[in-house]
């Protein structure tokens, strides 16, 4: 395949030029002008379009096994491909939990058949995410988990987290943490502040996250552990990360598109699609999060893609489950909301969505350079459109961006050398 005449941008390899890209045998075979394709090869006229490195999402919920009515491996990875992603890491809070060799092996088997793009899995830190007993971490590692997490829940007991850090040190895989002090967040359904006070919805204070971040970074520092902090949302947490970095703690962390673009004001709609954990925070927190991405304190942008069925989210706010989908809107929301207005540089966003998460979890780095495996996506960065609930590849449509304008549409995704997504001709929603 030759993608002809697109602007190719990859800060990792330093490319920013109008070039032809030739993909052959799953590898980027040539980059240049006026490339001659072999007779059989497909040619794509990409004039006016942009080739970007494909993205890596270290934090998605594919709901398999057990909750396939929300999402399955096929629909979830297709959603990823449609959003320009080439690799995903799925969380283990499934039914049953990914905490044993049996579950993991069956998942890899199904993934082999169903996943549209390469997909890895994190194993649980504690059996059943119950926070009591460590999983067989060496066995899970030998089966190929990409790391460990109890995501959806914090590791409540400091002593257990310390044991996990100690025990898993030789495994050298990151331990990813959902940071929440449950005694502080209990009864909370949205960020605690002026909006929660006015609406009467139970407040979830920012310190529920930052106090736990402080605790866990102290433990990680003591044990010299490699730690990855998931979906950070408050200024206080970011200050803790900056302090820990200065002390050489090996910490990587994530911000989500919804925390970068929305605040607790969105909860005024009382719509379930404005509900997630951690909750949308204050404008001050959002500004701190943007600055942290700009400064590199936050290295990864992850979606925390969390599909839920319509009827589940249609409940009154406090009863609606936490989580929003994100794979298909992440880049367009950030490009339209933060890059085009000049708030975040494109290079920073690309790095945070691609290279940094790949490095944090030791995955294939999606670099656009001759000889590299082809992990790239073709975007129309002039396509300004309103997010619609009926246009998702995901099985669920609980996006916080529905009705909002975003910029950028993915026309083609090549993941691990294979075409994983092609935008259907105009007029056909699929």
Give the number of residues written for the chain.
430
Report the residue from 21, 23, 195, 377 that binds another protein according to the rule CB under 8 A.
Answer: 195
Binding footprint of another protein, residue count (CB under 8 A): 22
Would you say 146 and 363 are in contact if contact means Cβ atoms under 8 Å apart? yes
Is the omega angle on the peptide bond into residue 96 within 30 degrees of 0, that is, cis?
yes
CB of 312 to another protein, least distance (A): 11
From the candidates 151, 216, 299, 304, which is the catalytic residue? 304
Q: Which SS3 state, helix, strand or coil, does residue 145 take?
A: coil
114 is catalytic: no
Cα distance between the two ends of the chain = 23
Query: Which residues on adjacent β-strands are paired with residue 99?
Result: none
Q: What is the DSSP string of 66-127?
A: T-TTT--HHHHHHHHHHTTEEEEEE-S-SSS-S-SHHHHHHHHHHHHHH-SS-EEEPBPSBG
Structure tokens belonging to residue 326: 């994100």
Between strands 50-53 and 203-204, the pairing is unpaired
Which of residues 194 and 370 has its CB atom nearest to another protein in the complex?
194
Which of residues 6 and 320 has its CB atom nearest to another protein in the complex?
320
Contact string 205-224 vs another protein (x = CB under 8 A): x-------------------
Which of residues 29 and 199 has its CB atom nearest to another protein in the complex?
199
Q: Which of 21, 119, 93, 106 is nearest to 327 (CA)?
A: 119
Query: What single DSSP character describes residue 337?
Result: I
Contact string 305-334 vs another protein (x = CB under 8 A): ---------xxxxxx---------------
E strands, 122-166, in order: 148-149
Tell me if 247 contacts another protein by CB under 8 A.
no
CB of 207 to another protein, least distance (A): 11
Which of residues 197 and 247 has its CB atom nearest to another protein in the complex?
197
Distance CA 60, CA 252 (A): 17
E strands, 302-430, in order: 376-386, 405-415, 418-422
Q: Which SS3 state, helix, strand or coil, does residue 3 take?
A: strand
CB of 93 to another protein, least distance (A): 25
Report the residue from 84, 120, 123, 203 that binds another protein according to the rule CB under 8 A.
Answer: 203
Distance CA 396, CA 310 (A): 7
Tell me if 192 contacts another protein by CB under 8 A.
yes
Distance CA 44, CA 8 (A): 14
| Interacting span for another protein (CB under 8 A) from 27-35, 75-83, 186-194, 233-241 | 186-194
Tell me if 132 contacts another protein by CB under 8 A.
no
Distance CA 117, CA 168 (A): 28
CB of 313 to another protein, least distance (A): 11
Structure tokens belonging to residue 225: 């552990």
| Interacting span for another protein (CB under 8 A) from 31-39, 188-196, 382-390, 402-410 | 188-196
Contact string 256-275 vs another protein (x = CB under 8 A): --------------x-----
Tell me if 390 contacts another protein by CB under 8 A.
no
Which of residues 313 and 411 has its CB atom nearest to another protein in the complex?
313
Structure tokens belonging to residue 176: 């990813």
Q: Which of residues 166-185 bind another protein (CB under 8 A)?
A: none
Can you say how many angstroms the Cα of residue 252 is from the centroid of all Cα atoms in its chain?
Answer: 13
| Interacting span for another protein (CB under 8 A) from 170-178, 198-206, 247-255, 326-334 | 198-206
Give the residue numbers annotated as catalytic, written as ranges. Answer: 304
Q: Which residues bind another protein (CB under 8 A)?
A: 186-187, 192-203, 205, 270, 314-319
């Amino acid at each position: 395949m030759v993608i002809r005449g697109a602007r190719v941008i990859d800060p990792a390899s330093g490319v920013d030029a109008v070039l032809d890209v030739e993909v052959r045998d799953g590898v980027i075979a040539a980059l240049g002008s006026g490339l001659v394709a072999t007779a059989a090869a497909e040619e794509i006229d990409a004039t006016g379009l942009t080739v970007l490195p494909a993205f890596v999402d270290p934090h998605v919920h594919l709901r398999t096994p057990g909750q396939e009515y929300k999402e399955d491996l096929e629909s979830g990875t297709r959603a990823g491909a449609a959003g320009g992603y080439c690799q995903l890491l799925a969380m283990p809070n499934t039914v049953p939990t990914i905490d044993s060799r049996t579950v993991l092996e069956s998942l890899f088997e199904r993934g082999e058949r169903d996943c549209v793009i390469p997909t890895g899995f994190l194993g649980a830190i504690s059996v059943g995410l119950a926070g009591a007993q460590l999983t067989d971490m060496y066995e899970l590692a030998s089966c190929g988990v990409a790391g460990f997490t109890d995501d959806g829940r914090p590791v409540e007991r400091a002593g257990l987290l310390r044991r996990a850090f100690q025990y898993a040190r030789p495994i050298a895989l990151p331990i990813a943490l959902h940071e929440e002090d449950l005694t502080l967040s209990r009864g909370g359904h949205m960020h605690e502040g002026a909006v929660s006070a006015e609406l009467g919805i139970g407040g979830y204070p920012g310190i529920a996250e930052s106090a736990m971040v402080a605790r866990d970074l102290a433990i990680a520092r003591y044990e010299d552990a490699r730690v990855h902090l998931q979906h950070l949302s408050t200024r206080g947490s970011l200050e803790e990360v900056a302090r820990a970095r200065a002390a050489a703690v090996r910490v990587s962390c994530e911000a989500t598109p919804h925390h970068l673009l929305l605040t607790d004001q969105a909860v005024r709609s009382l719509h379930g699609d404005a509900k997630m954990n951690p909750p949308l925070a204050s404008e001050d927190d959002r500004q701190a999060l943007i600055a942290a991405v700009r400064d590199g304190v936050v290295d990864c942008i992850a979606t925390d893609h969390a599909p839920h069925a319509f009827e589940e989210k249609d409940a009154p706010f406090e009863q609606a489950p936490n989580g929003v989908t994100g794979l298909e809107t992440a880049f367009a929301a950030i490009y339209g909301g933060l890059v085009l207005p000049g708030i975040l540089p494109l290079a920073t966003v690309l790095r945070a969505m691609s290279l940094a998460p790949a490095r944090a979890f030791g995955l294939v780095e999606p670099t656009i350079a001759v000889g590299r495996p082809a992990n790239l996506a073709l975007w129309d960065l002039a396509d300004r459109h309103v997010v619609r609930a009926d246009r998702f590849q995901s099985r669920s449509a609980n996006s916080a961006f529905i009705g909002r304008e975003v910029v950028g549409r993915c026309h083609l995704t090549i993941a691990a050398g294979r075409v994983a997504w092609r935008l259907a001709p105009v007029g056909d929603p699929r």
